[in-house]
A and B are shown apart, each in its own frame.
Chain A
Amino acid sequence: MSKRVLQRLTEVFGAAVIETHSQHGDDTAVVVPSRWKEIAAFLRDDEKCAMNHFIDLTAVDYLNRREPRFEVVLHVRSIEKLHRLRLKARLGEPATIDTLSGIWAGADWFERECFDMFGVEFVGHPDLRRILMYPEFVGSPLRKDYAAQHTQPLVEYRPEAVGKLPPFDEHEGMPFGRQTHDRVEPRVNALGFSDE
């Protein structure tokens, strides 16, 4: 059904659509980044497409695998016509592309997330700042060249917790086992004689 959307897209935009495929039944079009916004607006406003339901926007980093490096991926669907489309644009570094937040209001946060995680800059975005990470964070964590375990703490660690080396002393660590609940103490009266 949504093959028609792909057809229509190639008819209208011609060379701006670089390639299309329908792997696993997901209709996909790769377009040139310079006409990204224009094509998105067309998808929403054209009567035959009517892609009014924003679904998802993300990016994929193909470091050392593909040139250009990034691929911005957009998923949209139509509430009335029930078809879906995946729109992709390939970006080199520095990655910049037009914002879609004026077309679908939902793109706002998704673009912020994409900026946060991949460092893709969305030109014209009203409020482009980090959303999941804190403002002090440096780098883009989901890029393939960001080491997964590299933390950037905001507070100083307690020296005794960080610098602590095994083996531990006996008095350290959590005392396992109860020391008062299980203990039976003979009751002693004031004169020092036990009950028994």
Chain B
Amino acid sequence: MEPLDIELDDGELELPNEPMQVNMGPAHPAMHGTVRMVVDLSGETITKVDVQIGYLHRGFEKMCERGTWTQVFPYVDRLNYASPMLNNVGFSLAVEKMLGVSVPERCQHYRVVLGELARICDHMVCSGAMAMELGAFTPFLWFAKARELIWDVFEEETGARVTHSFGRVGGMAQEPTANFKSMVRAAVPAVLALIADGEKLLLANRIFLDRVENVGVMSKERAIALGWTGVVLRSTGVPYDVRKVHPYLTYDRYDFDVPVGTSGDNFDRFMCRQEEIRQSARIIEQALEQMADEGSVNIDDPRIVLPPKEDVYSTIEGTIQHFKIIMEGIKVPAGECYSYTEAGNGELGFYIVSDGSGTPYRIRIRPPCFATMQGVEEMIVGGMLPDVVPTFGSVNMIGGECDH
């Protein structure tokens, strides 16, 4: 290398400013999903970016066309794997809308409680992963510990830690266990305490704040045009929450607030998530109070719901009924419908086309973070390369959902 103290013309000391192309991902350690960003850099400023998704495309929609309606549930679980229960609930509601039935009130409260628990998990995973990618490993451990407490409840209820496949058309796979309420009531305060601990580590941390505040800003109008929903949209100041605006299940009977941001930056997204966790806890409390201790969680319709196991093994009617639902599937009337719920990332929609048989003709999922990811390009262009990491972390891209 030449010594720098030789005579130089003005400007010759500057670094070459031709754009440099850098590939981030798809196996980049700071990209917790499988996404590839082809970034054009001028110095450290991003001039152009091409966000490429699809590295986790698993053919969800094609697989759904191959089984019965009930066999879709395991696939649905693995869409947004941070909160599988919300997807289960969303898909059950979609098919129930098509069938024109609604589940008993006890089941509705039950779905709400399980769904909100899943939402808490989802937001914790996102916040924890975002903090971890910024170098704050301890809050992540705090959140992971809190998540285990919720997973204990899920395991007791559904038998699985992550992928429950617990939803059914016209009800749930099992009744709530006897001590369901006491378990949830014990877990939620402990979770909130752990979250508060983890949050304290971050919100008093200059490095964290500097890296998230006023980084990755998105305007209200652009967010709406891009089709953003959920936390990311609310952080820009639009109070659109499906639970409030188009209430489903029993959400109109609970008292809860919709946290809204002001500037739509990473910090707002983070804080909206944290506040939503607390609101979810409020909903859970109210739902548990209103949930009856007795009563069926399934609708009373032998064409949709499986008979109890004792009947299957002891009566011929039960056997036939079981056989018909398992082998032929639930007969969903021909037609189309679009059903939407508030999932962890926003509006999770299912556009369903049925030809009247026991197999779906087409199931289209409207993944909330697919719409979010196309806005990432705008958020990071003009910023610095290290800003990509918190921005990407705060939009909570979940590969299974985004890439179908």
Contacts and interface: CB of A to CB of B under 8 A. Distances in A.
A and B touch in the complex (CB under 8 A): yes
B59 interface: yes
Interface string A98-120: 00000011101110010001000
A118 to B, nearest CB: 11
Interface string A48-76: 00001111101011000100000001010
Contacts of B373: 109
Which of B336, B353, B361 has the most chain A CB atoms closer than 10 A to its own CB?
A: B336
Interface in A7-58: 23-24, 26, 28, 52-56, 58
Contacts of B240: 53, 79
Which of A23, A105, A130, A148 has the most chain B CB atoms closer than 10 A to its own CB?
A: A105
Contact of A132 (B97, B98, B336, B404): B404
B62 A141 contact: yes
B351 interface: yes
A106 B222 CA distance: 9
B53 A132 contact: yes
Which of B353, B362, B373 has the most chain A CB atoms closer than 10 A to its own CB?
A: B362
B66 A75 contact: no
Interface residues of A, number: 35
A133 interface: yes
A56 B225 contact: no
Given A23-B335, A75-B349, A133-B57, A58 B364 contact: yes
Contacts of B349: 55-56, 75
Nearest to B374: A109
A126 to B, nearest CB: 13
A132 B403 contact: yes
Contacts of A26: 336-338
B377 to A, nearest CB: 10
B27 interface: no
A128 interface: no
B62 A148 contact: yes
A122 B364 CA distance: 19
Which of B227, B370, B373 has the most chain A CB atoms closer than 10 A to its own CB?
A: B227
A95 interface: no
A54 B351 contact: no
B395 to A, nearest CB: 14
Contacts of B362: 60-61
Query: What is the interface of chain B mostly: helix, strand, loop, or mixed?
Result: mixed
Contacts of A134: 54
Given A24-B98, A60-B362, A79 B224 contact: yes
Contacts of A60: 353, 361-362, 364
Interface in A75-92: 75, 79, 82, 84, 86
Contacts of B366: 55-56, 58, 75
Contacts of B336: 23, 26, 28
B353 A141 contact: no
B225 A52 contact: yes
Contact of B225 (A24, A61, A105, A117): A105
A55 B366 CA distance: 8
Contacts of A54: 224-227, 371
A130 B374 CA distance: 14
A190 B178 CA distance: 64
A116 to B, nearest CB: 8
B380 to A, nearest CB: 16
Given A142-B62, A148-B66, A106 B226 contact: yes
Contacts of B53: 131-132
A106 B371 contact: yes
A132 B399 CA distance: 11
A117 B245 CA distance: 32
Which of B52, B98, B340, B374 has the most chain A CB atoms closer than 10 A to its own CB?
A: B374
Interface string A170-187: 000000000000000000
A45 to B, nearest CB: 13
Given A55-B227, A132-B403, A148-B66, A109 B337 contact: no
B351 A24 contact: no
Contacts of A28: 336
Which of B62, B63, B240 has the most chain A CB atoms closer than 10 A to its own CB?
A: B62
Interface in B20-44: none
Contacts of A79: 224, 238, 240
A74 to B, nearest CB: 11
Interface in B202-238: 222, 224-228, 238
Interface in B310-361: 335-338, 340, 347, 349, 351, 353, 355, 361
Nearest to A60: B362
B335 A82 contact: no
A55 to B, nearest CB: 6
A148 B63 contact: yes
Contacts of B100: 24
Contacts of A58: 351, 364, 366
Contact of B374 (A73, A108, A132, A148): A108
Interface of A: 23-24, 26, 28, 52-56, 58, 60-61, 65, 73, 75, 79, 82, 84, 86, 104-106, 108-110, 113, 117, 130-134, 141-142, 148
